[in-house]
Structure 1
Amino acid sequence: MESRDLRVSDAEREHVGTLLQRAVGQGMLSLGEFTERMDTALAARTRGELNAVLVDLPGMQVRPEYLPHPMQPTPAPAPPMAGPVPPAPASHLQTPTIRGRLSNLSRKGRWEVPPVLRLDTLMSSVTLDFTEAVMRTQVVRIQVEDYLSSITLVVPAEATADINGLDTVAASAESKVRNGPPFGPLHLIVGGTVRLGSVNVKHPLGTTLRKLLG
Protein backbone atom coordinates (compact mmCIF):
# COMPACT_ATOMS: atom_id res chain seq x y z
CA MET A 1 0.00 0.00 0.00
CA GLU A 2 1.28 3.45 -0.92
CA SER A 3 1.76 6.14 1.74
CA ARG A 4 -0.93 8.35 0.19
CA ASP A 5 -3.48 5.57 0.67
CA LEU A 6 -2.98 5.24 4.44
CA ARG A 7 -6.07 6.00 6.50
CA VAL A 8 -6.22 9.21 8.54
CA SER A 9 -7.55 9.74 12.07
CA ASP A 10 -9.94 12.35 13.46
CA ALA A 11 -6.93 13.98 15.13
CA GLU A 12 -5.26 14.56 11.74
CA ARG A 13 -8.49 15.94 10.24
CA GLU A 14 -8.90 18.39 13.14
CA HIS A 15 -5.27 19.49 12.84
CA VAL A 16 -5.73 20.25 9.14
CA GLY A 17 -8.88 22.19 10.06
CA THR A 18 -6.79 24.30 12.43
CA LEU A 19 -4.29 25.03 9.63
CA LEU A 20 -7.12 26.08 7.31
CA GLN A 21 -8.55 28.43 9.95
CA ARG A 22 -5.10 29.98 10.34
CA ALA A 23 -4.93 30.45 6.54
CA VAL A 24 -8.26 32.34 6.63
CA GLY A 25 -6.95 34.60 9.38
CA GLN A 26 -3.86 35.36 7.28
CA GLY A 27 -5.92 36.20 4.20
CA MET A 28 -4.76 33.21 2.14
CA LEU A 29 -8.26 31.71 1.86
CA SER A 30 -11.69 33.27 1.49
CA LEU A 31 -14.55 32.09 3.69
CA GLY A 32 -16.04 30.21 0.75
CA GLU A 33 -12.76 28.42 0.08
CA PHE A 34 -12.40 27.63 3.78
CA THR A 35 -15.87 26.04 3.89
CA GLU A 36 -15.21 23.96 0.78
CA ARG A 37 -11.82 22.74 1.98
CA MET A 38 -13.09 22.07 5.49
CA ASP A 39 -15.84 19.85 4.07
CA THR A 40 -13.22 17.99 2.03
CA ALA A 41 -10.97 17.55 5.07
CA LEU A 42 -13.78 16.22 7.26
CA ALA A 43 -14.74 13.70 4.57
CA ALA A 44 -11.15 12.63 3.80
CA ARG A 45 -10.34 8.96 4.33
CA THR A 46 -6.69 8.85 3.23
CA ARG A 47 -3.63 11.06 3.69
CA GLY A 48 -3.64 11.87 0.00
CA GLU A 49 -7.19 13.19 0.16
CA LEU A 50 -6.52 15.12 3.38
CA ASN A 51 -3.25 16.76 2.35
CA ALA A 52 -4.74 17.84 -0.99
CA VAL A 53 -6.44 20.81 0.74
CA LEU A 54 -3.06 22.18 1.88
CA VAL A 55 -0.74 21.78 -1.11
CA ASP A 56 -1.19 25.30 -2.56
CA LEU A 57 -0.79 27.14 0.78
CA PRO A 58 2.61 28.77 1.40
CA GLY A 59 4.77 26.79 3.81
CA MET A 60 2.60 23.67 3.49
CA GLN A 61 4.71 21.60 1.09
CA VAL A 62 3.99 17.90 1.53
CA ARG A 63 6.05 14.94 0.33
CA PRO A 64 4.79 13.66 -3.05
CA GLU A 65 4.12 10.18 -1.66
CA TYR A 66 1.51 11.70 0.68
CA LEU A 67 -0.37 13.54 -2.09
CA PRO A 68 -3.26 12.17 -4.20
CA HIS A 69 -2.38 10.19 -7.31
CA PRO A 70 -1.10 12.71 -9.87
CA MET A 71 -4.11 13.90 -11.84
CA GLN A 72 -3.34 17.62 -11.80
CA PRO A 73 -0.24 19.85 -12.15
CA THR A 74 2.21 19.92 -9.28
CA PRO A 75 1.79 23.13 -7.20
CA ALA A 76 4.47 25.80 -7.28
CA PRO A 77 7.42 25.17 -4.95
CA ALA A 78 7.02 26.41 -1.39
CA PRO A 79 9.52 26.80 1.43
CA PRO A 80 10.77 23.33 2.44
CA MET A 81 8.72 21.46 4.98
CA ALA A 82 9.53 17.78 5.13
CA GLY A 83 7.12 14.99 5.93
CA PRO A 84 3.34 14.63 6.10
CA VAL A 85 1.12 16.91 8.12
CA PRO A 86 1.87 15.96 11.75
CA PRO A 87 -0.96 15.63 14.24
CA ALA A 88 -1.26 18.47 16.72
CA PRO A 89 -0.24 17.98 20.37
CA ALA A 90 -2.81 16.06 22.39
CA SER A 91 -3.95 19.16 24.26
CA HIS A 92 -5.17 20.72 20.96
CA LEU A 93 -6.87 17.70 19.40
CA GLN A 94 -10.19 17.70 21.17
CA THR A 95 -13.01 19.71 19.63
CA PRO A 96 -14.78 21.83 22.28
CA THR A 97 -17.86 19.85 23.25
CA ILE A 98 -21.06 20.66 25.10
CA ARG A 99 -22.41 17.46 26.67
CA GLY A 100 -25.74 16.93 28.36
CA ARG A 101 -27.76 14.02 29.66
CA LEU A 102 -31.29 14.83 30.85
CA SER A 103 -30.13 18.42 31.36
CA ASN A 104 -30.97 22.06 30.67
CA LEU A 105 -27.99 23.64 28.91
CA SER A 106 -27.58 27.25 27.82
CA ARG A 107 -24.88 29.61 26.61
CA LYS A 108 -25.85 33.28 26.68
CA GLY A 109 -24.27 36.70 26.98
CA ARG A 110 -20.59 37.22 26.11
CA TRP A 111 -19.49 33.62 25.90
CA GLU A 112 -16.55 32.73 23.65
CA VAL A 113 -17.45 30.70 20.58
CA PRO A 114 -14.78 28.42 19.04
CA PRO A 115 -14.61 27.95 15.24
CA VAL A 116 -15.83 24.36 15.65
CA LEU A 117 -18.23 23.23 18.39
CA ARG A 118 -19.67 19.79 19.08
CA LEU A 119 -23.02 19.07 20.76
CA ASP A 120 -23.31 15.64 22.39
CA THR A 121 -26.76 15.54 23.98
CA LEU A 122 -29.41 13.10 25.17
CA MET A 123 -32.94 14.06 26.27
CA SER A 124 -31.84 17.63 27.03
CA SER A 125 -32.97 21.19 26.39
CA VAL A 126 -30.19 23.23 24.75
CA THR A 127 -30.13 26.97 23.97
CA LEU A 128 -27.10 28.60 22.34
CA ASP A 129 -27.57 32.37 22.06
CA PHE A 130 -24.99 33.99 19.73
CA THR A 131 -26.42 37.52 19.81
CA GLU A 132 -23.82 38.84 22.29
CA ALA A 133 -21.23 36.07 21.95
CA VAL A 134 -17.56 36.65 21.16
CA MET A 135 -16.70 34.90 17.89
CA ARG A 136 -13.15 33.95 16.93
CA THR A 137 -14.21 33.51 13.28
CA GLN A 138 -17.17 34.58 11.18
CA VAL A 139 -17.92 30.98 10.16
CA VAL A 140 -18.80 28.64 13.03
CA ARG A 141 -19.35 24.92 12.47
CA ILE A 142 -21.62 23.03 14.88
CA GLN A 143 -21.50 19.23 14.83
CA VAL A 144 -24.56 17.67 16.46
CA GLU A 145 -24.90 14.16 17.86
CA ASP A 146 -28.25 14.08 19.60
CA TYR A 147 -31.02 11.83 20.86
CA LEU A 148 -34.42 13.16 21.98
CA SER A 149 -33.30 16.74 22.69
CA SER A 150 -34.62 20.19 21.83
CA ILE A 151 -31.84 22.42 20.44
CA THR A 152 -32.38 26.14 19.83
CA LEU A 153 -29.77 28.33 18.14
CA VAL A 154 -30.39 32.10 18.41
CA VAL A 155 -28.35 34.24 16.00
CA PRO A 156 -27.96 38.00 15.40
CA ALA A 157 -30.24 39.80 12.96
CA GLU A 158 -27.79 39.81 10.03
CA ALA A 159 -26.48 36.27 10.57
CA THR A 160 -26.87 33.43 8.08
CA ALA A 161 -27.15 29.69 8.65
CA ASP A 162 -26.85 26.45 6.70
CA ILE A 163 -28.47 23.32 8.13
CA ASN A 164 -28.38 21.27 4.93
CA GLY A 165 -25.70 19.01 6.38
CA LEU A 166 -27.94 17.95 9.27
CA ASP A 167 -29.37 14.41 9.13
CA THR A 168 -32.69 13.87 10.91
CA VAL A 169 -34.02 10.51 12.07
CA ALA A 170 -37.66 10.82 13.17
CA ALA A 171 -36.69 14.40 14.07
CA SER A 172 -37.24 17.96 12.86
CA ALA A 173 -34.88 20.72 11.74
CA GLU A 174 -36.06 24.24 10.96
CA SER A 175 -34.23 27.46 10.18
CA LYS A 176 -35.95 30.86 10.12
CA VAL A 177 -32.65 32.49 9.21
CA ARG A 178 -31.41 33.45 5.76
CA ASN A 179 -29.31 30.80 4.02
CA GLY A 180 -26.54 31.57 1.57
CA PRO A 181 -22.99 32.94 1.62
CA PRO A 182 -21.88 34.68 4.82
CA PHE A 183 -22.02 38.46 4.83
CA GLY A 184 -22.97 39.43 8.39
CA PRO A 185 -21.38 38.89 11.80
CA LEU A 186 -21.94 35.12 11.84
CA HIS A 187 -22.51 32.18 9.51
CA LEU A 188 -23.50 28.90 11.17
CA ILE A 189 -22.89 25.58 9.45
CA VAL A 190 -24.82 22.88 11.29
CA GLY A 191 -24.16 19.20 10.59
CA GLY A 192 -24.38 15.83 12.27
CA THR A 193 -27.39 13.73 13.25
CA VAL A 194 -30.52 14.40 15.31
CA ARG A 195 -32.59 11.42 16.37
CA LEU A 196 -36.14 11.89 17.70
CA GLY A 197 -35.31 15.50 18.61
CA SER A 198 -35.48 18.96 17.08
CA VAL A 199 -33.19 21.78 15.95
CA ASN A 200 -34.48 25.33 15.54
CA VAL A 201 -32.36 28.23 14.22
CA LYS A 202 -33.94 31.64 14.69
CA HIS A 203 -33.42 35.34 15.38
CA PRO A 204 -34.18 36.87 18.79
CA LEU A 205 -37.80 37.66 19.58
CA GLY A 206 -38.87 40.96 18.08
CA THR A 207 -36.27 41.05 15.28
CA THR A 208 -38.87 40.87 12.49
CA LEU A 209 -41.04 43.50 14.16
CA ARG A 210 -38.09 45.87 14.57
CA LYS A 211 -37.27 45.51 10.87
CA LEU A 212 -40.85 46.35 9.91
CA LEU A 213 -40.78 49.42 12.15
CA GLY A 214 -37.45 50.56 10.74
Structure 2
Amino acid sequence: MDFGQNDNLRVSNAERAHVSGLLERAVADGMITLDEFAERTDAALAARTRGELRAVLVDLPGMDLDLHAPQARVVRGSVEPEALGGWMTSIVRRGPWTVAPVINLNTRMCSTTLDFTSAVLPGPVIEVNIDDYLSSTELIVPAGATADLNGVDAIAGSATVKVRNIPQPDQLHVIVRGKVRLGSVSVRHPFGSWLRRLHGG
Protein backbone atom coordinates (compact mmCIF):
# COMPACT_ATOMS: atom_id res chain seq x y z
CA MET A 1 0.00 0.00 0.00
CA ASP A 2 1.24 3.48 -0.80
CA PHE A 3 0.31 5.34 2.36
CA GLY A 4 0.16 9.10 2.20
CA GLN A 5 -0.45 9.21 -1.55
CA ASN A 6 -3.82 10.65 -2.58
CA ASP A 7 -5.25 9.92 0.86
CA ASN A 8 -7.40 13.05 0.70
CA LEU A 9 -9.12 12.02 -2.52
CA ARG A 10 -12.80 11.19 -2.23
CA VAL A 11 -13.85 7.56 -2.63
CA SER A 12 -16.66 6.03 -4.67
CA ASN A 13 -19.33 3.51 -3.75
CA ALA A 14 -17.42 0.94 -5.81
CA GLU A 15 -14.33 1.42 -3.62
CA ARG A 16 -16.40 1.12 -0.44
CA ALA A 17 -17.98 -2.10 -1.75
CA HIS A 18 -14.53 -3.41 -2.72
CA VAL A 19 -13.22 -2.88 0.80
CA SER A 20 -16.34 -4.45 2.31
CA GLY A 21 -15.67 -7.53 0.17
CA LEU A 22 -12.08 -7.67 1.39
CA LEU A 23 -13.30 -7.53 4.98
CA GLU A 24 -15.68 -10.43 4.29
CA ARG A 25 -12.69 -12.39 3.01
CA ALA A 26 -10.66 -11.43 6.08
CA VAL A 27 -13.29 -12.64 8.54
CA ALA A 28 -13.81 -15.85 6.56
CA ASP A 29 -10.05 -16.47 6.71
CA GLY A 30 -9.92 -15.84 10.46
CA MET A 31 -7.86 -12.66 10.18
CA ILE A 32 -10.40 -10.56 12.07
CA THR A 33 -13.25 -11.33 14.45
CA LEU A 34 -16.93 -10.80 13.73
CA ASP A 35 -16.93 -7.78 16.04
CA GLU A 36 -13.98 -6.29 14.15
CA PHE A 37 -15.70 -7.09 10.86
CA ALA A 38 -18.83 -5.18 11.90
CA GLU A 39 -16.80 -2.20 13.13
CA ARG A 40 -14.59 -2.04 10.06
CA THR A 41 -17.48 -2.49 7.65
CA ASP A 42 -19.30 0.42 9.28
CA ALA A 43 -16.13 2.50 8.98
CA ALA A 44 -15.67 1.53 5.33
CA LEU A 45 -19.24 2.41 4.39
CA ALA A 46 -18.91 5.77 6.16
CA ALA A 47 -15.48 6.58 4.69
CA ARG A 48 -15.21 9.72 2.60
CA THR A 49 -11.52 9.65 1.64
CA ARG A 50 -9.00 7.07 0.50
CA GLY A 51 -7.06 7.58 3.72
CA GLU A 52 -10.08 6.59 5.80
CA LEU A 53 -10.55 3.46 3.68
CA ARG A 54 -6.87 2.54 3.87
CA ALA A 55 -7.04 2.69 7.67
CA VAL A 56 -9.59 -0.14 7.62
CA LEU A 57 -7.12 -2.43 5.80
CA VAL A 58 -3.86 -1.23 7.35
CA ASP A 59 -3.08 -4.41 9.34
CA LEU A 60 -4.45 -6.95 6.83
CA PRO A 61 -1.60 -8.38 4.74
CA GLY A 62 -2.08 -8.69 1.01
CA MET A 63 -5.26 -6.61 0.87
CA ASP A 64 -5.18 -3.38 -1.07
CA LEU A 65 -7.56 -0.52 -1.67
CA ASP A 66 -6.71 -0.59 -5.39
CA LEU A 67 -9.64 -2.23 -7.19
CA HIS A 68 -7.27 -3.68 -9.80
CA ALA A 69 -4.48 -4.88 -7.50
CA PRO A 70 -4.05 -8.64 -7.01
CA GLN A 71 -5.39 -9.65 -3.60
CA ALA A 72 -3.77 -12.29 -1.44
CA ARG A 73 -5.88 -15.11 -0.06
CA VAL A 74 -4.95 -16.81 3.19
CA VAL A 75 -5.23 -20.59 2.93
CA ARG A 76 -7.35 -22.11 5.68
CA GLY A 77 -4.97 -24.76 6.91
CA SER A 78 -5.52 -28.19 5.40
CA VAL A 79 -9.31 -28.04 5.24
CA GLU A 80 -10.48 -28.43 1.65
CA PRO A 81 -13.63 -26.81 0.27
CA GLU A 82 -16.58 -29.16 -0.11
CA ALA A 83 -17.92 -29.54 -3.64
CA LEU A 84 -21.64 -30.25 -4.04
CA GLY A 85 -23.41 -30.49 -7.36
CA GLY A 86 -25.62 -32.41 -9.71
CA TRP A 87 -28.02 -32.47 -12.62
CA MET A 88 -31.78 -32.88 -12.21
CA THR A 89 -31.47 -34.19 -8.67
CA SER A 90 -32.08 -33.30 -5.05
CA ILE A 91 -29.25 -32.39 -2.66
CA VAL A 92 -30.08 -32.40 1.05
CA ARG A 93 -27.84 -31.93 4.08
CA ARG A 94 -29.58 -32.09 7.45
CA GLY A 95 -28.81 -33.18 10.99
CA PRO A 96 -25.27 -33.32 12.45
CA TRP A 97 -23.38 -33.13 9.15
CA THR A 98 -19.84 -31.73 9.15
CA VAL A 99 -19.63 -28.43 7.30
CA ALA A 100 -16.53 -27.25 5.45
CA PRO A 101 -15.59 -23.57 5.80
CA VAL A 102 -16.14 -23.19 2.04
CA ILE A 103 -18.86 -24.93 0.04
CA ASN A 104 -18.75 -24.84 -3.76
CA LEU A 105 -22.25 -25.53 -5.07
CA ASN A 106 -22.69 -26.27 -8.78
CA THR A 107 -26.25 -27.21 -9.72
CA ARG A 108 -28.30 -27.66 -12.87
CA MET A 109 -32.07 -28.15 -12.52
CA CYS A 110 -31.60 -29.22 -8.90
CA SER A 111 -33.33 -28.70 -5.59
CA THR A 112 -30.82 -28.10 -2.78
CA THR A 113 -31.40 -27.75 0.95
CA LEU A 114 -28.49 -27.09 3.32
CA ASP A 115 -29.70 -27.07 6.92
CA PHE A 116 -27.07 -25.72 9.32
CA THR A 117 -29.22 -25.79 12.46
CA SER A 118 -27.77 -29.06 13.84
CA ALA A 119 -24.59 -29.17 11.76
CA VAL A 120 -21.02 -29.43 13.02
CA LEU A 121 -19.66 -26.02 12.07
CA PRO A 122 -16.00 -25.21 11.27
CA GLY A 123 -16.17 -21.74 12.80
CA PRO A 124 -18.31 -18.62 12.89
CA VAL A 125 -18.20 -17.99 9.12
CA ILE A 126 -19.19 -20.22 6.20
CA GLU A 127 -18.67 -19.21 2.58
CA VAL A 128 -20.98 -20.64 -0.10
CA ASN A 129 -19.93 -20.18 -3.72
CA ILE A 130 -22.90 -20.90 -5.95
CA ASP A 131 -23.12 -21.61 -9.68
CA ASP A 132 -26.80 -22.26 -10.29
CA TYR A 133 -28.92 -22.80 -13.39
CA LEU A 134 -32.66 -23.53 -13.25
CA SER A 135 -32.28 -24.63 -9.63
CA SER A 136 -33.57 -23.73 -6.20
CA THR A 137 -31.26 -23.49 -3.21
CA GLU A 138 -32.42 -23.04 0.38
CA LEU A 139 -30.06 -22.41 3.27
CA ILE A 140 -31.53 -22.86 6.75
CA VAL A 141 -29.53 -21.23 9.53
CA PRO A 142 -29.93 -21.33 13.32
CA ALA A 143 -31.86 -18.64 15.17
CA GLY A 144 -29.53 -15.67 15.64
CA ALA A 145 -27.43 -16.51 12.59
CA THR A 146 -26.92 -13.92 9.85
CA ALA A 147 -26.25 -14.03 6.11
CA ASP A 148 -24.88 -11.83 3.34
CA LEU A 149 -26.13 -12.38 -0.23
CA ASN A 150 -24.72 -9.16 -1.67
CA GLY A 151 -22.23 -11.17 -3.71
CA VAL A 152 -24.94 -13.07 -5.59
CA ASP A 153 -25.58 -12.11 -9.22
CA ALA A 154 -29.17 -13.17 -9.95
CA ILE A 155 -29.89 -13.33 -13.68
CA ALA A 156 -33.63 -13.79 -14.27
CA GLY A 157 -33.62 -15.33 -10.81
CA SER A 158 -33.88 -14.33 -7.17
CA ALA A 159 -31.71 -14.06 -4.07
CA THR A 160 -33.75 -13.71 -0.90
CA VAL A 161 -32.42 -13.28 2.62
CA LYS A 162 -34.94 -13.56 5.46
CA VAL A 163 -32.41 -13.13 8.26
CA ARG A 164 -30.30 -10.22 9.46
CA ASN A 165 -27.21 -9.44 7.41
CA ILE A 166 -24.97 -7.84 10.05
CA PRO A 167 -22.76 -10.43 11.80
CA GLN A 168 -23.46 -10.94 15.49
CA PRO A 169 -20.95 -12.03 18.16
CA ASP A 170 -20.82 -15.80 18.72
CA GLN A 171 -23.33 -16.47 15.94
CA LEU A 172 -22.98 -18.14 12.56
CA HIS A 173 -22.53 -15.82 9.57
CA VAL A 174 -23.02 -17.20 6.04
CA ILE A 175 -21.55 -15.40 3.02
CA VAL A 176 -23.03 -16.40 -0.34
CA ARG A 177 -21.41 -15.45 -3.65
CA GLY A 178 -21.81 -16.48 -7.26
CA LYS A 179 -24.43 -16.65 -10.00
CA VAL A 180 -28.07 -17.72 -9.98
CA ARG A 181 -29.54 -18.06 -13.47
CA LEU A 182 -33.27 -18.71 -13.87
CA GLY A 183 -33.29 -20.04 -10.33
CA SER A 184 -33.41 -18.96 -6.71
CA VAL A 185 -31.35 -18.92 -3.54
CA SER A 186 -32.76 -18.06 -0.13
CA VAL A 187 -31.62 -18.00 3.48
CA ARG A 188 -34.04 -18.36 6.38
CA HIS A 189 -34.36 -19.48 9.98
CA PRO A 190 -36.22 -22.72 10.79
CA PHE A 191 -39.99 -22.45 10.64
CA GLY A 192 -41.41 -21.44 14.00
CA SER A 193 -38.21 -19.83 15.30
CA TRP A 194 -39.88 -16.41 15.45
CA LEU A 195 -42.69 -17.90 17.55
CA ARG A 196 -40.21 -19.45 19.97
CA ARG A 197 -38.43 -16.11 20.33
CA LEU A 198 -41.78 -14.41 20.95
CA HIS A 199 -42.44 -16.77 23.86
CA GLY A 200 -38.88 -16.56 25.15
CA GLY A 201 -37.96 -20.06 23.98
Give, in whole Å, the separation in 2 of the partners of 1:212 and 1:199: 27
Identity across matched positions, percent: 46
Partner of residue 150, structure 2: 164
Q: Which amino acid counterpart does residue 176 of structure 1 have in structure 2?
A: K
Q: 1:53-64 to 2 correspondence within 5 Å?
A: none
Give, in whole Å, the separation in 2 of the partners of 1:122 and 1:208: 33
Give, in whole Å, the separation in 1 of the partners of 2:165 and 2:37: 17
Cα distance per residue 1:40-75 (max 9 Å; x no partner): xxxxxxxxxxxxx8x957xx8x9xxxx98xxxxxxx
Give, in whole Å, the separation in 1 of the partners of 2:37 and 2:128: 15
Aligned residues: 152
Give, in whole Å, the separation in 2 of the partners of 1:22 and 1:174: 26
Deviation at 1:101, TM superposition (A): 0.9
Runs of at least 4 residues off by over 4 Å: 32-36
- Structure 1: gaps of 5 or more residues: 1-16, 24-28, 37-52, 69-84
Give 2:168's match in structure 1, choosing from 182, 194, 197.
182
Deviation at 1:93, TM superposition (A): 8.8
Q: Which amino acid counterpart does residue 106 of structure 2 have in structure 1?
A: D
Give, in whole Å, the separation in 1 of the partners of 2:97 and 2:37: 24
Give 2:140's match in structure 1, choosing from 146, 150, 154.
154
Is residue 2:91 matched to residue 1:105?
yes
Are 2:79 and 2:100, in contact at CA under 8 Å, matched by a contact in 1?
Answer: no
After superposition, the Cα gap between the structure-2 partners of 1:56 and 1:207, relative to the gap in structure 1 and judged at 3 Å, is closer
Give, in whole Å, the separation in 1 of the partners of 2:193 and 2:105: 26
User: Normalising by the residue count of structure 2, what TM-score does the alignment of the two structures yield?
Assistant: 0.64
What is the root-mean-square deviation of aligned Cα atoms in Å? 3.3
User: Larger RCO: Structure 1 or Structure 2 (Cα < 8 Å, ≥ 6 residues apart)?
Assistant: 2
